[in-house]
Amino acid sequence: MTYTPPLRDIALAMKAAGFDDLIELFPEADHATVEAVLDGAGAFAADIIAPLNRPGDLAHATYANGKVTAAPGYAAALREFAEGGWNSLSAEARYGGQGLPKALEIAVFEMFNAASLAFGLCPILTQGAIEALAAHGTTEQKAKYLPRLISGEWTGTMNLTEPQAGSDLAALTTRAEPDGEGGWRITGQKIFITWGDHDAADNIVHLVLARTPNAPAGVKGISLFVAPKRILTADGKAGAPNELRPAGIEHKLGIHASPTCVMVFEGAKAELVGVEGQGLAHMFTMMNAARLQVGTQGVAIAERAYQQALAFAHERRQSRSAWTGESPAPLWDLPDVRRTLMLIKARTAAARGICLATAVAADQAHHGDAKAKLREELLTPIAKGWSTDVGVWAASEALQVHGGMGFVEETGAAQHYRDCRILPIYEGTNGIQAIDLVGRKLSMEGGAAMTALVSDIRETARALKGDLGGVGDRLGAAVDAMAAGADWLSARKGTPDALAGATAYLKLCGETVGGWMLAKQAHLDSRMGPLATLYAGQVLSGVPGQLAAVTQGSAPLEAFEG
C-alpha cells in the first residue's frame, strides 16, 4: 500500500514531451529547480498524503448539522500542502504565485493524486477557479480572491450541474437576480460539487453558473458568478456566512474521503464574472484546466495500481516459472502476468506523455504561440478521455493480477478501481470529449491542428523505422489510420455518422498519440525499449483495424429498437 514517486519516469516523460523548450519562456524553471520541485513533491506525496489514502477510504468525509468534516488527517494535510507552496506553482507572481510552467504543475500533481485521488481533487478545483478568475475576473475580483486561492488559504469549487440537468447545461434553472447594489443574489441547487464544503480552509470560493432575469433559453442564457462561503469584509478577509450551505454529501462508489456535496443557494450574495450571458464560455477556462488535471488523475491511479500489483506479483508464489523452472515461482515469472504488468506500465507512460505534451503546449500558448494553442486544444479531449480510460483499465488489470485477493478490500487493490471509476465521467463524460474532438477540434483552422500532429508523428515514425523492434513501422501505420479517420469524420461533420464514430476515434487517437509519446521516451532511454516494443505489438498493431469502427456509420444505431 506504499507509494514510491516515479521521479525518473516523470522526468523522462517531461523531456520527451518537450519540456526543455519551455526553459527559454520560463528562465526560473532551470534543471536544478525542476529537480528540486519534483523531489520535494514526491516526498510530500509519499510521506504526508499517501498514508491518508486507505484510512480516508474507510472513514469517509462526514456530514452533520449542516456542516462537512473532512476525513481524519485531510484538513491538516491540506493546510500543510498550502504552507509548502504546492498550490501556487504555476500561478502569476503578482498574485503570490511562483510563475513556473503548467507542465511542471501537472507532473507534480500526478504524484499528489497517486498518493490519494480524494486529496488531489481539492487543489485541482482550486487551480481551475484560479485560472477562470485570472482570465475573466475584474481587477478588483482578482485582487480579492486570487492571492488567497493561490496561497491555498481558501479553496475553490465549480458549480455546474443540477438534479434535472446532468451534463445538459442548457437545462440549468439556478437563477441570479440583481440585488440593487451592483451585486447579485443566487438561488438554486447544485449537485455533485467536489469539496463543496469542508473544514480544511477559512473560506470556499464557489464559481456558479446561473440564469439572469430575461435571459434566453439554452446555454446563451447562462452567466458565471463568484459566491464565497463567507462574505468578504472590507479588508478582504472571510467574514459573515453567506446564504449558501451543503444539504448533504453523496454516498459514492469510491473517493470516499472527497466530500461530494449537494449545495443549496438561498439568495447568496455573488458577483458577476466576465460578461453576462457568456458564463459557459468563461467556465470552459476552468473546465479545460480541470480536464487536463483529471486526465492526469488517470495516469496517477494507473501508476499507483501498477506499483501495488507489481509488488504483489513479486511476493506471491504459485505455479512454475516459464523461464527458470522454479516452483512455486513468483507471479512475475508467469508470461501472462508479466505481459499484463508491462502493458499497464506502457500505457501509463503513454498517457503521462500525452498529458505532459498538452501542458507543454498550454505553456507555449500562454506565451502567444498560436500553433501551440491549436495543439493544446486538440490534445485536451484525448488527454482527458483516453488517459482516464487507461486509469480504469489499469486499475482493473492490476486487480486481476491479484486474483481473488484483489477482490477483497483488505488488499487495497479494489479501492483504486472504485476511486478511479468516476474519472471518465468527470468534467464532461468521455463521450462528450469524443464529440468535442470530432465536432470542434478536427475542424480548427481548416484541420491545421490535426495535420500538424500527424506530420510530427510521421516524422518520429520515419526516424525509428527499423529500430526498437518495428515500433516505427507500427506507429506509421497507426498514424495513417488516424489521418484517414480525421478525413472521413471531417467530411461528415455534425452528422449522425460522425457522432457514431466519435468514441472509437478518440480511442484510436489516444493509442496512436500515446504510442508516439512512448516511442519518444524509448528513443531517449533504452530501458523503455521493451515497453515500446510490447506496446507496438499489442496496441499499435491493432489501431489500423479500429478505423472500421470509426467509419461504420450510424445505420446500425438507427435500426436498433432496443
The residues annotated with a catalytic role in the active site are: 427
Q: Look up residue 136 and give its amino acid.
A: H
SS3 sequence of 165-232: CCCCHHHCCCEEEECCCCCEEEEEEEEEEECCCCCCCCEEEEEEEEECCCCCCCHHHEEEEEEECEEE
**Cβ–Cβ < 8 Å for 488, 550:** yes
> Of how many residues is the chain composed?
562
**Cβ–Cβ < 8 Å for 493, 439:** yes
Closest CA to 352 of 6, 4, 36: 6
- Using CA atoms, how far apart are residues 440 and 493, in angstroms rounded to an integer? 9
3-class state of residue 265 by DSSP: strand
| Three cell numbers written together for 103 | 507542465
Rg (CA), the chain: 23
- Using CA atoms, how far apart are residues 352 and 327, in angstroms rounded to an integer? 37
E strand spans, 274-336: none
**Cβ–Cβ < 8 Å for 506, 381:** yes
- Using CA atoms, how far apart are residues 417 and 53, in angstroms rounded to an integer? 13
Q: What is the DSSP letter of 425?
A: T
222-228 vs 260-273, strand pairing mode: antiparallel
Residue 196 burial (CB count, 10 A): 27
- Using CA atoms, how far apart are residues 264 and 243, in angstroms rounded to an integer? 9
Count Cβ neighbours within 10 Å for each residue of 509-529 and write b for 16 or more, e otherwise. Answer: bbbbbbbbbbbbbbbeeeebb
What are the residue ranges of helices labelled H in 137-161? 139-151
- Using CA atoms, how far apart are residues 80 and 101, in angstroms rounded to an integer? 22
Phi, psi of 528, deg, nearest 5: -85, -5
What's the N-to-C CA distance of the chain in angstroms? Answer: 44
Which residues are within 8 A (CB) of 183 and not within 5 positions of it... i.e. 6 or more apart?
Answer: 269, 270, 271
- Using CA atoms, how far apart are residues 520 and 522, in angstroms rounded to an integer? 5
Angle (nearest 5°) at CA 298 between 96 and 18: 60
